[in-house]
Amino acid sequence: MNKAELIDKIAKDAGITKVQANDALDAFTGAVVSTLKKGDRVTLVGFGTFSVSERAARNGRNPQTGAVIKIKARKVPKFKAGKEFSTKISSGKK
């Protein structure tokens, strides 16, 4: 499912226009991104938790030349599914 399909689904299920659904989705993703940038986490009980993880600096290899390269440390977004969400996916329930 891409963003346009998700917006259609949200609009239909919530009984709102596609423009309103798009605005709501953009507001949600914007809020998650800005919260993670501050170093906080976003927890949606029953769905999951968005957080930021620190990835340490490490050595890697250039696959073409085999030369050792240094990979910088960085922050990466992470999502951990909640128990209820995981149960619904694995059991096939809606």
Mean pLDDT by 10 residues, the chain (94 residues): 97 97 97 96 96 95 94 95 91 62
CB of 36 within 8 A of CB of 77?
yes
| CATH number of the domain where residue 45 is located | 4.10.520.10
- What pLDDT, on a 0 to 100 scale, did the predictor assign at position 90? 85
The predicted model scores a pTM of: 0.77
Domain extent, residue 35, equals 3-91
- pLDDT in the model for residue 93: 59
- Residue 7, Cβ density class (10 Å: 0-12 exposed, 13-18 middle, ≥19 buried): buried
Nearest to 70 by CA among 80, 82, 58, 78: 58
Cβ atoms of residues 46 and 84 within 8 Å: yes
What average pLDDT does the chain have? 94
Output the pLDDT for position 91: 72
pLDDT value, residue 19: 97
User: Could you give the number of structural domains in the chain?
Assistant: 1
> What Rg, from alpha-carbon coordinates, does the chain have?
19
